[in-house]
Amino acid sequence: MSSMGGSADENLETKETHVRSLSSSHGQEPYVHKVGIPPRQNLFREFQSTVKETFFADDPLRSFKDQTKSRKLILGIEAIFPILSWGRTYNLAKLRGDLIAGLTIASLCIPQDIGYAKLANLDPEYGLYSSFVPPLIYAVMGSSRDIAIGPVAVVSLLLGTLLQSEIDPIANPIDYRRLAFTATFFAGITQATLGVLRLGFLIDFLSHAAIVGFMGGAAITIALQQLKGFLGIQKFTKKTDVISVMYSVLSSAHHGWNWQTIVIGAVFLAFLLFAKYIGKKNTRFFWVPAIAPLISVILSTLFVYLTRADKHGVAIVKHIKSGINPSSVKEIYFTGDYLGKGFRIGIVAGMIALTEATAIGRTFASMKDYQLDGNKEMVALGAMNVVGSFTSCYVATGSFSRSAVNYMAGCETAVSNIVMSVVVFLTLEFLTPLFEYTPNAILATIIISAVINLVDYKAAILIWKIDKFDFVACMGAFFGVVFASVEIGLLIAVSISFAKILLQVTRPRTAILGKIPRTTVYRNIQQYPEATRVPGVLIIRVDSAIYFSNSNYVKERILRWLMDEEEQVKVDYQTRIQFLIVEMSPVTDIDTSGIHALEELFRSLQKRDVQVLIIKPNTVRILNDIMWQISYQRKHHFDQLVLANPGPIVIDKLHTSNFAALLGEDKIFLTVAEAVAYCSPKLAEDP
């Protein structure tokens, strides 16, 4: 009993000391700052401001201000065709850098394009077509100085997988090719539409973690698909999951493998990996891994031609059609059943291509410290794919490996894409017969060596350390691609990304606040263990806007905080909780139903003679339920509810609804410290 009495005396002394520290000197009432009411805005201007921040946050028309009509016309044309802007300052010094970079990436892209076309189940020339026309269009309309345009492994695999689920590329190659052009057309339309309507923020819904997992899984899948060419297998599964692929590989081990093909593939794979090692070891030798694929193609082709290894089971590319891109306008499905299928496949392929190109463009733009207009990029990418679909190309986008080589080679502008395109043009016109004896094994090794870097295990480890839920998204996308299919993995990636958003919206964080010693600052007691709680007062912060989707959870979470605190008070014989302060600085908005609920709350509390004080009036409907339950749960003994620090939108809504006048503006507080100071004299009077 004596120990209990001593504890009670200490609590009372602590409480009185705290009250005295919060009270102003000389017995005067502390000065309370009034919560500012934002000026009323015109409805049209408010709507205009919201639309501007949503779709035009980068203020794209800033350069048009205070300009003459003729100047605005010129600026408008330059906005569509940036080459007219930077082209005026182009000189021989820049041409030298672009020429070297263009020749370097051309040596890399030609063998890759032939292999990627096979990955998309198309003839090799279509990969070269896609590195001729699209880069020219992008060079005129694109704003990135470093991105290299052409087919890429992930999009080629995705397109090939989705297309062959609709049409057999072997049994019906013409319709398959037409569907590929149709999908490319709608991929371009999707990209351009997103850019014109300034909806680029939609691609941000695919989180970085999901992209890392998806790319890693796609890289594994692509590498496994190359076992057909690497091992010389004739009959191979059309499925992409690891179980089906490995079963197909192992079941053909006794009679389906070709040892000459394996030797060619293994030797040149070792050569390519060694070239990559040299390039990473010393950045001055960046050109070594860039030209290694072309050297591999030349040497392996000569070897097969001289030894006639093709007559011993070594599969070769055979004939590649000469000449530049033929027109494919009449081959696109604008009617019929395949129109819808091409539209669906095009949207998926276009979004993935857009995500990859945007990430690459932003990366190199930040490295060179220049601004990249994402919406202009989307329009440029969309335009090049639409034109590409008319000229026998399939979906092209920015290639990370080629863009990295382009950057390392010292590119200055998008002219490097033009140089690459010219080299591809010369190849199509004059050099395609030289690839007739190129073994498929060398194309497989080139693709394998190219996609290895897509397995970014370091990024996955970092994601695990930073955010476990992000790691789940990463692994979900990875295993979805590897064990199911590319489209399943993509669906999982998107689903988990959206699930994370919904979880954060419906389950916002809350925290108990305490006072930092020798300050008037109140912070999370878990983050700041030295923060002390105010006797008789529970301060809770809600870290989210409050809408219908999370209001019930916030209400229940606050009540659980209260119940836990009350139980702790009873155990420690502390001052009973008399005030609940809800600090709502992070609460940026509240919906209409919350306002009505708060009015009902106030009327309900008036009948029970319970005083309400507001500091941050944002959680309206929730507080209704909280106070109603508090008034009936006598075990909590709450006398008053205090809210702190209302934001401009919230306080404006409270005044618009006349709730502020109903409540009393003198009971709306600016800070937690002032709310605590208001509560302190009443705590001192408590017996």
Would the pLDDT of 6 be above 60? no
Residue 257 to residue 228: CA distance in whole angstroms? 9
pLDDT at res. 400:
87
Query: Which carries the bigger pLDDT value, residue 37 or residue 357?
Result: 357
Domains of the chain in sequence order? 91-499 (no CATH), 509-615+622-683 (3.30.750.24)
The string of pLDDT tens digits covering residues 553-584 is 777 787 778 778 878 877 776 777 777 777 87
- Identity of the residue numbered 635: K
The alpha carbon of 320 is separated from its chain's Cα centroid by a whole number of angstroms, namely 39
The string of pLDDT tens digits covering residues 77-92 is 998 999 999 999 999 9
Query: Which carries the bigger pLDDT value, residue 22 or residue 59?
Result: 59
Question: Band of the pLDDT at 244, cuts 50, 70, 90?
Answer: very high
| Mean pLDDT, residues 67-73 taken together | 86
The string of pLDDT tens digits covering residues 434-457 is 999 999 999 999 999 999 988 999
| All residues at 6 or more sequence positions from 197 whose CB lies less than 8 Å from its CB, including other chains | 55
Give yes or no for a contact between 537 and 679, defined as CB atoms under 8 angstroms apart.
Answer: yes
> What does R_g of the chain's alpha carbons equal in angstroms?
33
Give the lowest-confidence range in 23-27, 196-200, 362-366, 423-427.
23-27
Residue 214 to residue 473: CA distance in whole angstroms? 9
The string of pLDDT tens digits covering residues 359-417 is 888 888 888 888 888 888 999 999 999 999 999 999 999 998 899 999 999 899 999 99
Query: Which carries the bigger pLDDT value, residue 133 or residue 61?
Result: 133
Query: Which carries the bigger pLDDT value, residue 298 or residue 682?
Result: 298
| All residues at 6 or more sequence positions from 577 whose CB lies less than 8 Å from its CB, including other chains | 536, 537, 538, 562, 565, 566, 569, 636, 637, 638
Residue 186 to residue 334: CA distance in whole angstroms? 10
Beta strand pairing call for 397-399 and 537-542: unpaired
pLDDT at res. 370:
86
